Structure 1
Amino acid sequence: MNGAKTTPGSTGSQQAPAPRSASRSREIMGRVWASPTGKISLVMIAALVLIACLADQLVTHNPTAQVLGQTNQPPSWMGGEGGHLLGSDPLGRDVFSRILVGLRLSLLIGFLTATATALIGLTLGLLAGYYERFVGGFLMRVADIQFAVPFAAVGIALAAFAGPSVVLLMAVLAFWGWTNYARTIVSLVGRTKRLDFVTAARTTGASPVRVLVRHITPNVLGPVIILWSTSVGTLILVESSLSLLGLGVQPPGFSLGSMLADAQKTLRLSWWAAVFPGMGITLVVIAFNLLGDALRDAFNPALGSMSEHDPELT
């Protein structure tokens, strides 16, 4: 008779494998979804994106058709003619349909420009923080100069030189916003590169590119993602401001910002042509600002719990 017994911890024991820890991104998104602010922001953003994607199926009128016999019509629920749910603008175009289609271009400008800005700012911030003495000093001086120059003046000059266009607008916004990212992460990169695991990677022969991409970038992505989420709404506001100056989206294209620009001249006759697009911009900005708050608390749970007890920390 074999009297051998397996003891807990012996190789013969049958134990369930330890569960793998969730990835960092899944953990962050779980914290975002677990917070009320995160749920509200994600639902709002998902709804806005869905509406923008299905705009062609949801419109009730041709958004570019001008019906001069129905100009400045109030919303149908205010007695307006023509079945315009949110009224018509000074050229007889349906405001509701234009908001749906214009939302798509506004979100596209915000998403693409914010992403391009984040990539440029992350790259230059990594270089400035890793090569502090020469590259970092030069880039930070460039950032200081750029902060001192009004963006509106640069936009007007470029529009006068090359003509206003959506591509030019997005390019200018992308290259102009890198300073916020670079200045935010440059000191964090400088501290991270002196940590033991980064020093060990350099000692074993890892190239600067590998050190930056593999070891430093994951540790500075938090502030970049938070800045990205809040800058989407900010860039849509900037585009709206430039459209008011005639530097934004040009006809026949239109966005929520250009709709505001078109309606400012006849505000007394058709206030709905300005108020409802403005409400659309407000919803977009609120949704992405709430997402930024939820991401901030998710990346730093201690700060979120402290702010609940001390409102002055928020």
Structure 2
Amino acid sequence: MKSPGRMREIFTKAWRNPTGKFGFLTLGVLVLAALFAPLIAPHDPTAQVLTAADRAPAWLGGEGGYLFGTDSLGRDVFSRILYGLRLSLVIGIVAATISAALGLVLGIVAGWYERFAGKILMRMADVQFAVPFVAVGIALTAVIGPGITPLLIILSVWGWTTYARTIANSVSQIKRQDFVTAARTLGASTPRLMLRHVAPSVLAPVVVLWSTSAGVLILAESGLSLLGLGVQAPVFSLGSMLADSQIALRLSWWSVLFPGLALLLIVLAFNMIGDALRDAFNPSSALVPRNPELV
């Protein structure tokens, strides 16, 4: 079982990695900007000033002093990005956490009972991998409707498969290790073996996959919002900002570019953190390119 001291050592190594340091700093700045949005934002993000519609950023000669310009309804793009960061980060982090917990439980069950439950769960995962995410998102949205809660459900349910497949393979090997056999000999029950001995041994891939899947799920939310299936007005995220601005791309390209850059920074930060954590858990992986799903 990994102690708090061991986890502290892992995160210290990840911080010392230049890639990890950039990821942590970038993510930290974005999180702080989202938390302190009411203090930083110069304008009301929902206020529509039609007389100031499609104004260019101030540094490109635009009037009104708008840092990132305004959209087609005269709303300040910079202020909307700060507030949109909040919802995008919350959706990505919450969905990644739920899918990690779900994938951890199902992966342990699939790896422990690999002959029956494992085969069923892995076949379910194979089917889910074979179906495009957009098709699943459209189908589920048609059934449960659009909104933040349905969106979290869709993303959380979709994300469990990567965890389960990775964890199941590890558990099938760990359960045959001597320390598990010794605990079983001493009378440890199956739930105790899973919770106290197996689960801590597979935390490394869970942590790495969580850090990378958070960015992927934020991107997935943006994709659904871009199709009109995600966040609904008056609530908005970075993805819904892109959806609102695509019709005015020729008039105000800045209203698409800057939310897109914010999304890029979020995904890049999470991926860099995931790479640094992977290298910290397994230093030899830094020497050989690997798929994060196989860590």
**CA deviation map 1:252-278 (0-9, x unaligned):** 000011101111111000000000000
Q: Distance in 1 between matches of 2:218 and 2:132?
A: 18
Residue 137 of structure 1 aligns with which residue?
119
Identity of aligned residues (%): 60
Q: How many residues align?
A: 289
Q: Distance in 2 between matches of 1:30 and 1:146?
A: 36
Instruction: Supply the RMSD in Å over aligned alpha carbons.
Output: 1.4
Aligned positions of 1:24-35 closer than 5 A: 24-35=6-17
Aligned positions of 1:281-300 closer than 5 A: 281-300=263-282
How far off its partner does 1:313 sit? 6.1
Q: Distance in 1 between matches of 2:163 and 2:128?
A: 13
Residue 243 of structure 2 aligns with which residue?
261
> Which of 141, 154, 166 lines up with 1:159 in the alignment?
141
Q: Which amino acid aligns with 1:300?
A: N
**CA deviation map 1:21-73 (0-9, x unaligned):** 97210110121112111211111111111111001110000000000111100
Deviates more, 1:59-68 or 1:144-153: 144-153
Residue 94 of structure 1 aligns with which residue?
76
Residue 107 of structure 2 aligns with which residue?
125
> Which of 200, 203, 208 lines up with 2:190 in the alignment?
208
Residue 53 of structure 1 aligns with which residue?
35
Q: Distance in 1 between matches of 2:248 and 2:283?
A: 49
Q: Distance in 2 between matches of 1:76 and 1:94?
A: 12
Q: Which amino acid aligns with 1:66?
A: Q
> Which of 245, 249, 260 lines up with 2:231 in the alignment?
249
How far off its partner does 1:303 sit? 2.1
Q: Which amino acid aligns with 1:184?
A: T
Q: Which amino acid aligns with 1:127?
A: V
> Which of 110, 119, 129 lines up with 1:147 in the alignment?
129
Q: Which amino acid aligns with 2:195?
A: V
Q: Distance in 2 between matches of 1:114 and 1:252?
A: 25
**Alpha carbons of structure 1 residues 22 and 214: separation in structure 2 relative to 1, 3 Å:** closer
Q: Distance in 2 between matches of 1:147 and 1:172?
A: 14
How far off its partner does 1:112 sit? 0.3
Q: Distance in 2 between matches of 1:67 and 1:232?
A: 35
> Which of 141, 162, 174 lines up with 1:180 in the alignment?
162
How far off its partner does 1:156 sit? 1.5
**CA deviation map 1:232-254 (0-9, x unaligned):** 11111111111111001100000
Secondary structure class of the residue paired with 1:179: helix
Q: Which amino acid aligns with 1:200?
A: A
Q: Distance in 2 between matches of 1:260 and 1:173?
A: 19
Higher relative contact order (CA 8 A, sep 6+): 2
Q: Distance in 2 between matches of 1:204 and 1:161?
A: 50
Secondary structure class of the residue paired with 2:103: helix
Q: Distance in 2 between matches of 1:39 and 1:232?
A: 18
Q: Which amino acid aligns with 1:280?
A: A
> Which of 83, 95, 100 lines up with 1:113 in the alignment?
95
**Alpha carbons of structure 1 residues 96 and 22: separation in structure 2 relative to 1, 3 Å:** closer
How far off its partner does 1:162 sit? 2.8
Instruction: Work out which of the two has the higher radius of gyration on C-alpha atoms and give 1 or 2.
Output: 1
How far off its partner does 1:185 sit? 1.3
Secondary structure class of the residue paired with 1:86: coil
Aligned positions of 1:203-242 closer than 5 A: 203-242=185-224
